[in-house]
Chains A and B, each alone.
Chain A
Amino acid sequence: MAVEVQAAPGVQKKKKSSTGTFGRVGRYTVTRLVTLFFTMVVGVYLTILIANMGGYVDTIMKAQIRENTTMAFMSNKGYQKMDTATRAKLLEETITQQEERLGLNTPFMVRSFRYLGNALTLNLGDAQSMTADNGSKQVRLIILGRLPATLLLMGTSELFLFFSTLFLALALSRHYGSLWDKLTIALSPTSTVPPWFYGIFLILIFAAVLHILPFGGLTDTPVPTNPFLFALSVLKHMTLPALSLILASFFLSIYNWRTFFLIYSSEDYVEMAKAKGLTARNIERRYILRPTLPTIITQFALTLITVWQGAIITETVFLWPGLGRTLYTAIGFYDTPVIVGTTIIYAYLLALTVFVLDFVYALVDPRVKVGE
């Protein structure tokens, strides 16, 4: 379920301020940046607390370390010849070492602020148990390693969705009440079904019954060495997950855009333009698209942020090695640095987008002035 995000433009219409434009914009920029920064800090800190259940995870991890180390000692023949006291001492030392390595010897509250500081400075650090494909433990490399797969899948499907539904909706709003219009309205409830659910049906039809597309994964095994065959193989594996992501929002997205355009095309100035005898194309460009541009841009920006998050369940169902599945694995391993790493980047992107959008509005819409 996507969280609905309404851009919060600090735009209100008031009477003209006495200071100059520069001062107004400057003051606005500073307050906005400070608010956004604090929002982000609180959000990220809450995520850190939740990812550790307020320190409860420490207990789990300590128990895990103790169990694993004890097991390792028991199965190692070399230690069995030692006398009990030495072995117990060595065991305790190893456990302490392990706990220190994961930072468990410092109290959680202290560590939580260290996590926060590191996160805010984008110093993502090392993962606790996960590794990147090249064996590195750096969170940065883990995330970067998985990013291409997510960008490919989500980028393709989200961009396709955005532009295709936008233009189809524009065409439909011209043919209000036509058969295609009615069909879209009738099909819009199909978007209550999440993408992974379509995924199951698509796997059933195209992979299990027809055997024309793979069940999941990123490429064939063994991975083709020829770059062209490699691309073809990725494309083949991407078809079903991308299709399920698209199907899940296609009709509702057209419906929403269409309704949105219809509301704007019933404005008086559009009627006026029609009366003046302007061509449909001109009306669309100047009188419908122009005033709706801020909303379109907001939606586009939010679409781009969605891409970053990946689709946890769809990626899991299709065994797609993207960020969503990495996040899911990280949660399973209680790997706080990876969880916080993905969250902080999302938070930064969101804050940045919201901030930039305020200025974009002012650029595209002459009725809006920054900071007024």
Chain B
Amino acid sequence: MTMNNFKKSLQEIARYPSAIVGAVVILILIGVAIYTMITIPYQKAIVLWRGGEDVWYQNPKTVPPEWFNLFTKKKEPISFVINTQKGNLTRTINTHSDGSSTITLTYKFDYQFDDFPQDIALYFNSKYVQKQPFASLEWTTPDGRKIQVANFAVPAQFTYRVSQDSVLQTKLYGVDPEIALFADPKSPDPKNPIPIKGTYQLVITGITWEKNSDISAEFVFLGQVAGLAGTDFYRRDLMVALLWGVPVALAFGLIASVGTSVLTMIIAAIGAWYGRWVDGLIQRITEVNLVLPFLPILIMIGTLFSRSIWVILGATVALSIFTGQIKAYRAIFMQVKETTYIEAAKAYGASNWRIISLYLIPRMIPTLIPNLVLSVPSFVFLEASLAVLGLGDPTLPTWGKIIDDAFNYGALYKGLYYWILEPAVLLMITGLAFALLGFALDRIFNPRLREA
């Protein structure tokens, strides 16, 4: 097939709508991958995904994404934070003559949701030498009720969670505080209270006893929806892993399929050209490889040796070279070897390598390209499969790892469908895009199979 023919074949892709859809989706995925690697560089992604509670504390646990509210009548509360940088926080200081001072922190926010939050957390920081500052918290509802929330001494670092305050719960007649603070006392059904909409206010009155002593607090409202992708059981934003899953999946799928296809073809060409013991050896290796159990060996390598994605990738390629495909390529090379132009090449004194690389291998490109594209999905899913078996890369966030986490947490039993569906849909879109393009390419390059 000459270069011109090849171009013509590529132009023919335009005639297959499914191929165009596939190609466009692949291009979008590549775009997202590049965008992700620029905006969330590797190091940052690792911190966001593995950083610990300090990184995730502003997120609620296992909640669906914010855009769920677009499709439901009942608007779920969105998480937000009020601190010195964000939100409506006023701070006043009254210094007294004895060195003590009163610091008033007022947090105001507008609440227009139909459900109650998961929790409200206050992250206190205080500065003192001998005596801890003292804080008292007062809650004001839109209808003007004032509730004394809590009083306590504040150590240097301290977290106060409304939901875990049993004293407050008793004071609120046994109703969970995060509900009682928002509930309308005139709700028609006291078992199913409705929140009051409007402006809420929390006032922290802090008293410091020493000069230079200080107190500050970050107000974290943990809603029932968060971010563009929701969160998992560690409060991690799933968006990080969904975005990073794109380059990981593409890299794994493409490197594995290109590596496998190209190496298979080169080895098949060498075997077919040199014949004799070279060919025999390749045939024997292939037969031995057929006896080796593919997935169990990958699992063994993952369990015993290393779960690094690059080690698994290398093993995958190594095990995928000597399969039935090499025999199929060999059969075609054996035919090509007998053609007249190879004889002509031999006659003008071309070297073995020249013949293999310039005459044998180019003949295989029409078979190679569709196979290559078609094998990408299986490798993308292989990465996910290994992750589902608990053998995912220990550091990288990937789609398979999200599914594995969700499965182990029992997301399906607990109705946390978004957690599994998001990575699953992305995996499926990626797989189908390559499959659509691959099937169309197969029909273009192998016209014998073309439909009527």
Contacts from A to B (Cβ < 8 Å) = 1-6, 8, 35, 39-40, 42-44, 46-47, 50-51, 53, 56-57, 60, 176-177, 181-182, 185-186, 188-190, 192-194, 196-197, 200-201, 203-204, 207-208, 215, 259, 262-263, 309, 312-313, 316-317, 327-328, 331-332, 334, 339, 342-343, 346-347, 350-351
Contacts and interface: CB of A to CB of B under 8 A. Distances in A.
A1 B295 contact: yes
A343 B378 contact: no
B432 A189 contact: yes
Interface string B425-438: 00110011011101
Contacts of B428: 193, 197
B424 A197 contact: yes
B412 A203 contact: yes
Contacts of A208: 412-413, 415, 417
A13 to B, nearest CB: 14
B107 interface: no
B295 A197 contact: no
Interface string B289-302: 11111111101110
A3 B290 contact: yes
Given A5-B290, A331-B296, A215 B412 contact: yes
Given A51-B300, A208-B412, A8 B287 contact: yes
B448 A313 contact: no
Given A1-B378, A181-B451, A339 B295 contact: no
Contacts of A346: 291, 293
A186 B297 CA distance: 34
Nearest to B430: A192
A302 to B, nearest CB: 10
A177 to B, nearest CB: 4
Contact of B304 (A2, A334, A342): A334
B311 interface: no
B403 A186 contact: no
B324 A4 contact: yes
A279 B379 CA distance: 46
A51 B438 CA distance: 36
Nearest to A203: B412
Most buried by A among B295, B297, B323, B449: B295
Interface string B338-358: 000000000000000000000
A247 B283 CA distance: 34
B443 to A, nearest CB: 9
A5 B324 contact: yes
A316 B292 contact: no
Contact of A196 (B300, B327, B385, B448): B385
Contacts of A327: 296
A56 B385 contact: no
A53 B304 contact: yes
A317 B323 contact: no
- Range, interface on chain B: 35 or more
A186 B417 contact: no
A8 B327 CA distance: 9
Given A186-B18, A327-B296, A204 B378 contact: no
Most buried by B among A40, A47, A182, A186: A47
A185 B300 contact: no
B172 interface: no
Interface string B397-409: 0000001000100
B303 A332 contact: yes
B323 A4 contact: yes
Say whether chain B's binding surface is mostly helix, strand, loop, or mixed.
helix
B55 interface: no
Contacts of B18: 186
Given A42-B288, A185-B451, A312 B303 contact: no
B452 interface: yes
B424 A201 contact: yes
Contact of A176 (B417, B420, B436, B452): B452
B412 A43 contact: no
The 6 closest A-B pairs by CB, nearest first: A43-B291, A189-B435, A4-B324, A177-B452, A192-B377, A6-B324
B93 interface: no
B385 A350 contact: no
A53 B305 contact: yes
Contacts of A215: 412-413
Given A192-B378, A192-B381, A196-B385, 11 more contacts: A5-B290, A43-B292, A57-B304, A189-B439, A192-B431, A194-B378, A197-B427, A200-B407, A313-B388, A317-B407, A346-B293
B69 interface: no
Contacts of A57: 304
B382 interface: yes
Nearest to A46: B292
10 contacts: A3-B289, A3-B290, A39-B284, A43-B289, A53-B300, A189-B438, A200-B412, A208-B415, A316-B388, A331-B299
Contacts of A207: 412
Nearest to A347: B291
A183 B386 CA distance: 32
A57 B301 CA distance: 11
Given A5-B290, A192-B432, A50 B417 contact: no
Nearest to B316: A1
Interface string B357-399: 0000000000000000010011101101100110000000000
B382 A1 contact: yes
B24 interface: no
Contacts of B421: 204
Contacts of B10: none
Contacts of B377: 192-193
Contacts of B305: 53, 56
Contacts of B153: none
Interface in B269-319: 283-284, 287-297, 299-301, 303-305
B328 interface: yes
A169 B219 CA distance: 64
B325 interface: yes
B312 to A, nearest CB: 13
Nearest to B22: A189
B294 A3 contact: yes
B296 A343 contact: yes
Nearest to B452: A177
Contact of A44 (B291, B296, B403, B431): B291
A53 B295 CA distance: 16
A39 B288 contact: yes
A39 B451 CA distance: 41
A4 B432 CA distance: 21
B244 to A, nearest CB: 20
A343 B293 contact: yes
